[in-house]
Amino acid sequence: MRDLSLLAAVRAAGEEIAAHYPRIDVLINNAGLHAFSQRVTTEGYAEMTAVNYLAPWVLTDALRDRLVASAPARIVTVASRASRQAGAIDPLHDLTDTADFTRRGSSPRYGRSKLMDIMFTQELARQLQGTDVAATCCCPGFNATGLGRELPLAGALEKALTTLNIGNPQHGADIIVKLATDPEFADTSGGYFAARTAEPLQCPEIGRGEGIQRALWDATADLVHTIRRPQST
């Protein structure tokens, strides 16, 4: 079990996987959290940014060569329409922002981390052109998976929703599996898709341009490539 908030541990896990498995057909970046107050990791990053965006970036980077060598292969990253709540994107600031926030203020922060996932996917797709490795992302829709478990009465609400078959996680899983395995998406790269219908979605305008997506990529690379593997004890 790895702590996905610690990027050195994520990179070490990726390197170990790449060394152990001769081919990797699919990488699915699905782990995430919605924090309702600021928590800073021991590496100095906002936990929500680290888990939702930086960890998928680092894991994909660690496995990239193996995925390319295994082509055809696919990379699927779980984003969210919550990205529309981001408000703005400033890569150099947002990647290292550890300022406190309120429960209400958590939504733009969560949305920004998911916006970064879309931007990362679309820039990655451009970089992987000609490799036969497809990179896509999706919004899994509303799913009762415990994402809001830190809220008061969250457990009771999730139990009620499950009883009413509202927010069935199967709906979110379906689009992830579809992008990972369906022949229809074998040659699709750079797309962002909705749950249930697989309808193409657009990246929110603030993060849509190639210039801002590349700026986020470069800022992230400069940040995470200084991370070292944890020392063995």
Q: What is the mean pLDDT of the chain?
A: 89
Q: Return the pLDDT at 55.
A: 97
What percent of the chain has a predicted confidence (pLDDT) above 70? 84
**pLDDT of 74-126, one tens digit each?**
999 999 999 999 999 999 999 999 999 998 889 999 999 999 999 999 999 99
Active site residues: 110
Looking at residue 141, what is its pLDDT?
A: 77
Give the predicted TM-score (pTM) of the model: 0.89
Q: What is the pLDDT of residues 2-20, one digit of tens each?
A: 799 999 999 999 999 999 9
pLDDT digits (tens, 9 = 90+) for 131-167: 999 999 999 976 555 555 565 545 554 555 455 455 5
User: What pLDDT does residue 166 have?
Assistant: 53
Q: Please write the tens of the pLDDT for every residue from 75-85.
A: 999 999 999 99
Q: How far apart are CA 69 and CA 19, in angstroms?
A: 13
Where are the chain's structural domains? 7-224
Query: What's 7-224's CATH class?
Result: alpha beta
